[in-house]
Structure 1
Amino acid sequence: MVKFGYTILYVEDVEKSIEFYENVFEFERKFISPDNDYGELNTGETTISFASKKLGAQNLEDGFLESSLEDKPFAIELAFITDDVGHLVQKATSFGAVLVSEPKKKPWGQVVAYVRDTDGFLLEICTPVHS
């Protein structure tokens, strides 16, 4: 059996990044290492984790592309489902997220918006998909 456990975002300041997700999405802190190089949030079945860029450099000796608001986002996103997309977009931007795309209704009825978090990662804020 295989289970998808967590996604790790490499960030400049683990504590600051965790605080953003606590404030915007009201997730609770699961764990943060004593040296603030790694932390996790309780987000449900799959965990969002954060590691410092310093730790990332230790783990990946050939380096990695760093997320930055100055560059285009990576071709990956984290999606957060809510019944009130507009409210959550406003809340995210009030805590420093950058608006990428206002809420739009898709042909299948879902409402979708995009923001970038304070580290530049792309976040989709959307209503549930109904079949």
Structure 2
Amino acid sequence: MIEAVVALALVMVVLGAIGSVVATNVRGVSKLEQRVGLVDAARLVISSMPRGDAIGGRSGEILGHHWQIATSPFVGGAGVAGSRFVPERVEVRLQSPSGAMLSLETIRLRSRDGE
């Protein structure tokens, strides 16, 4: 009788440990899916940026994610003398419906003459 109780206790401990691992994996997968959604939305926002003119600041919503774009002159320099392009710093911020945030910063080349 005592052996059965000990065996049952061991089975419960093992099942509890397995349940803990499964719960951790589920949370990890959920966060990963959330991150992929944010990155996909960021890609869509960046790819839809107008070419040529300076953007300044814009905001909107895409795929349920709120986004903001802010541009500013690149602090690293004005670019190469005589070049048709000038570097511009672009900062993109996204917030998912669940509240997770993603902030990206990149450099793009903008035409000096606005084409």
User: TM-score under structure 2 normalisation?
Assistant: 0.32
**Which has more radius of gyration?**
2
Q: Which has the higher helix share?
A: 2
